[in-house]
Structure 1
Amino acid sequence: MPPGATPAVEPVVGEPAAVADLGGERALLVADVHAGVEVGLRYERGVELDSRADERRERLCDLLAETGADRLVVLGDLAHRIAAPEGEEREELEALIGAVTDRVPMTLVEGNHDAGVAEAFASDLDVIGADGGVIGGGEGDEDGRAGTGGVGVCHGHTWPDPALLGADVVCMGHEHPRVRLEDSVGGSRVERVWLRGRLDPATFVDGSDADGDAAVRGEPPELVVFPAFNERSGGTWVNVDGQSFLAPFLPDALPAGDAYLLNGTRLGDFRRI
Structure 2
Amino acid sequence: MLRILFEDRAVLLEKDSELYGIVADLHIGFEIDLKGRGIRLPLQTDKISSQLLNLVDKYGIRKLILLGDLKHSILGYERREAEDVRRLLEQLCQLVEEVYLIPGNHDGNIEEILYKLKVKVYSSRGLRLRDGELSVGLFHGHAWPSLRVLSSEVLVIGHIHPTVEFRDRMGLRYVEPAWIRVRIDRNRLAYSMCKHLKIDPGEDPILSLKVSQGIELRTRWVLVMPAFNPFLSGLVINNTAKMSKMSPILSAIGRDLEKSEIYLHDGTYLGSPKLLSKLSEV
Name 1:65's counterpart in structure 2.
57
Name 2:124's counterpart in structure 1.
130
The number of residue pairs the alignment matches comes to 255
Please say which structure displays the higher CA radius of gyration. 2
Q: How does 1:1-273 map to 2 (within 5 A)?
A: 8-43=1-36, 45-104=37-96, 105-121=98-114, 123=116, 124-136=118-130, 149-200=134-185, 201-202=189-190, 205=193, 207-209=195-197, 210=199, 213-214=209-210, 215-216=215-216, 219-240=218-239, 243-244=242-243, 245-253=245-253, 255=256, 256-273=259-276
What is the DSSP-based 3-state SS (H/G/I as helix, E as strand, rest coil) of the residue aligned with 1:151? strand
CA RMSD of aligned residues (A): 2.4
User: Comparing 195-204 with 80-89, which one deviates more in the overlay?
Assistant: 195-204
Mark the runs of 5 or more structure 2 residues left unpaired by the alignment.
Answer: 200-204, 277-282
Partner Cα distance (1:170, 1:241) in 2: 19
Whether the 8 Å contact between 1:137 and 1:167 is mirrored in structure 2 is no
Deviation at 1:239?
1.0
Name 1:142's counterpart in structure 2.
none
Partner Cα distance (1:59, 1:96) in 2: 11
Whether the 8 Å contact between 1:38 and 1:51 is mirrored in structure 2 is yes
| Cα deviation digits, residues 229-265 of structure 1 (max 9, x gap) | 1123322111158745411232442603111001001
- CA spacing shift, 1:121–1:246, aligned 2, 3 Å: same
* 4+ aligned runs moved over 6 Å, structure 1: none
What is the DSSP-based 3-state SS (H/G/I as helix, E as strand, rest coil) of the residue aligned with 1:250? helix
The residue identity in structure 2 corresponding to 1:223 is V
Alignment TM-score, normalising by the size of structure 1: 0.84
Deviation at 1:220?
2.3
Partner Cα distance (1:19, 1:137) in 2: 10
Whether the 8 Å contact between 1:17 and 1:28 is mirrored in structure 2 is yes
Percent identity for Structure 1 against Structure 2: 29
Whether the 8 Å contact between 1:9 and 1:18 is mirrored in structure 2 is yes
Partner Cα distance (2:240, 2:151) in 1: 34
Whether the 8 Å contact between 1:71 and 1:106 is mirrored in structure 2 is yes
Deviation at 1:271?
3.0
Whether the 8 Å contact between 1:175 and 1:235 is mirrored in structure 2 is yes
Whether the 8 Å contact between 1:84 and 1:116 is mirrored in structure 2 is yes
Partner Cα distance (1:182, 1:257) in 2: 21
Whether the 8 Å contact between 2:2 and 2:131 is mirrored in structure 1 is no
Whether the 8 Å contact between 2:181 and 2:224 is mirrored in structure 1 is yes
- CA spacing shift, 1:206–1:231, aligned 2, 3 Å: farther
Whether the 8 Å contact between 2:86 and 2:113 is mirrored in structure 1 is no
The residue identity in structure 2 corresponding to 1:69 is I
| Cα deviation digits, residues 46-71 of structure 1 (max 9, x gap) | 21110011111110000001111111
